[in-house]
Structures are given as structure tokens and as C-alpha cells.
Amino acid sequence: MSFVVYKGFIMYETITIKQYDSLSILCRYTEDDGTVTNLTGTKVEVDVKTLSGILISNLIVDASDIGLGEFTISSDLVSIYPGKYLIDILFTDLLSEDRVASETFQLLVNPSITIPRGI
């Protein structure tokens, strides 16, 4: 699954998965006109929170293509319960640690019919 993160707008405002699914999302940060934003020198942190703001999980960020404006967020969300959550992506400047931007979208976790063996 992948989506494009525009400044202030996310192509898919809700991502739907089933409980016990792993999550891996390729993100591309672009300007309003579609040109890719070089994120070199930018730290990317991603959290999953409840709708009331309680932290559920920090997601893993693979920033190996950050100069191309691309990064991948992933997690094994085995312990997350069905429901609605928020995924918040925070961009900060590595040198000054100032907030550059943040983007938030919904994660809908549907109940799984089959529970994986060994859980």
C-alpha cells in the first residue's frame, strides 16, 4: 500500500486494515504542484494514537530514500485492537529540531475473522 503525502493533504485520508495485519506504507512528500520535496536534513517520526490522543505505538520509519522525498512507515500491529486510530507523521529539522510540518490521517482496524496461530 502506498500513498502520496502532499503538504496539508493526504491522498488517502483513511487506511483500512484487519487486526493482526502488518502495516507498510510508502510515502512520498510533494509540493502542491506535485514536485517531490527533498527531505534531506529532515527527521521523520510516526505515531499511532487513539482518537483521544493516547499513544499506542511508534511506527518504524525507513528513510533510505529521504532525498527523493520518499520514506516507508511500517509496523507489526498484532497488539492493536479493532477501532479507529490516528497516524501522525512529524517532520522536524535535524539541526534546529524545529517542527517543519506534520500530517495526520486515520487508520481503521477491522476485526479479523481468523486469529493467527500462536497468538
The HSE-up count of residue 86 (CA atoms within 13 Å, CB side) is 13
- In this prediction the pTM is 0.81
User: Taking a C-beta distance cutoff of 8 angstroms, is the pair 19, 107 a contact?
Assistant: no
Element of type H or E holding 92: strand 83-93
pLDDT for res 44? 94
What is the residue-wise DSSP string for 48-90?
EEETT--EEEEEEEE-TTGGGTEEEEEEE-TTPPSEEEEEEEE
Model pLDDT for residues 30-65, shown as the tens digit of each residue: 877 878 888 999 999 999 999 999 999 899 999 999
* Predicted confidence (pLDDT) at residue 3 exceeds the cutoff of 60: no
Domains of the chain: 2-110 (2.60.40.3350)
User: Taking a C-beta distance cutoff of 8 angstroms, is the pair 27, 71 a contact?
Assistant: yes
pLDDT for res 85? 94
Model pLDDT for residues 14-30, shown as the tens digit of each residue: 888 888 888 888 888 88
Percent of the chain at pLDDT > 90 equals 38
The HSE-up count of residue 65 (CA atoms within 13 Å, CB side) is 11
Model pLDDT for residues 73-92, shown as the tens digit of each residue: 888 766 788 999 999 999 99
pLDDT for res 119? 65
